[in-house]
């Protein structure tokens, strides 16, 4: 599987679950095009230059997941368009964060990169994880990982999953992995 969509071993993680929805090749670029205002099959096709079969499959998948909605905007001749749902529009922070990260750390000179400004004030966007209570940006080092609830099913038994359930623990702290029960490293 190539950038296949399942990550069966990662059932405890929302990020992995998200990647099952949008992590396949081309999918995020299709969503980006939706934000650009692209709505028609043929426009996605000419802009992205991907195989038609892949485009069809991805669009159908995104509709099925509720990220896009396919709707008829004209009856004669029948024409369909793909538009972002509320869920799809809510994906914007992910793309904004990705674009901001690349702009800062992987900018390649000599390319005509588009930029994104806050229209009213013409300021370049940034993207943060945010704490609604403190009302400020939260760096990874201040984030606590909280293991998921105990459920009747069997939890993952690999040493790393076990260590992550031992919590509490913050991001970026080295994880102490104990292979089989004794201390390591």
Q: Which of residues 74-133 bind DNA (CB under 7 A)?
A: 76-81
For the chain, the distance separating the N- and C-terminal CA atoms, rounded to the nearest angstrom, is 34
| One of 60, 80, 129, 166 touching a copy of itself (CB under 8 A) | 129
Token reading at 32: 């980006």
> Does the protein bind DNA through residue 31 (CB under 7 A)?
no
Nearer to a copy of itself, 28 or 63 (CB): 28
Rule CB under 7 A: say whether 40 interacts with DNA: yes
Contact 36, 18 (CB under 8 A): no
Q: Is 178 in the site for a copy of itself (CB under 8 A)?
A: no
CA distance 185 to 171: 19
The correct pick among 59, 62, 68, 84 for binding DNA (CB under 7 A) is: 59
Which of 11, 17, 36, 56 touches DNA (CB under 7 A)?
A: 56
Q: Which is nearer to DNA, 11 or 52 (CB)?
A: 52
Nearest-approach distance from CB 54 to a copy of itself, in angstroms: 11
Using N-to-C axis directions, what is the helix angle for 41-48 and 27-36, rounded to 10°? 120
CB-based contacts of 100, cutoff 8 Å, min separation 6: 125, 126, 127
Element (H, E) at 71: strand 68-75
- Residue 37, by phi and psi: left (phi above 0), alpha (psi -120 to 50) or beta? left
54 binds, among DNA, a copy of itself, none (CB under 5 to 8 A by kind): DNA
Helix (H, G, I), strand (E, B) or coil at 167: coil
CA distance 146 to 55: 37
Could you say which residues in the range 74-103 bind a copy of itself, by CB under 8 A? 84, 87, 89-103
Task: State the residue for tokens 């990220």.
Answer: 67
Residues numbered 148-167 forming contacts with a copy of itself, rule: CB under 8 A: 148-151, 153, 155, 158-161, 164
Residues interacting with DNA, by CB under 7 A? 1-4, 24-26, 40-43, 49-54, 56-57, 59, 70, 76-81, 179-180, 184
């Amino acid at each position: 599987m190539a950038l296949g969509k399942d990550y069966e071993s990662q059932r405890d993680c929302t990020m992995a679950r998200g990647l099952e929805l949008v992590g396949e090749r081309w999918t995020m670029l299709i969503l980006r095009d939706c934000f650009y205002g692209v709505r028609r099959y043929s426009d996605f096709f000419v802009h992205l230059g991907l195989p038609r079969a892949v485009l069809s499959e991805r669009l159908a998948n995104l509709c099925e997941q509720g990220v896009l909605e396919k709707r008829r905007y004209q009856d004669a001749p029948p024409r369909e368009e793909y538009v972002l749902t509320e869920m799809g529009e809510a994906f914007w922070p992910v793309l904004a964060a990705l674009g901001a990260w690349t702009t800062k750390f992987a900018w390649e000179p000599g390319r005509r990169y588009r930029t994104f400004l806050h229209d009213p004030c013409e300021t370049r966007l940034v993207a943060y994880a945010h704490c609604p209570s403190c009302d400020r940006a939260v760096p990874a080092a201040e984030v606590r990982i909280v293991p998921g609830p105990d459920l009747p099913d069997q939890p993952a038994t690999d040493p790393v999953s076990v260590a992550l359930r031992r919590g509490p623990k913050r991001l970026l702290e080295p994880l102490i992995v104990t292979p089989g029960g004794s201390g390591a490293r």
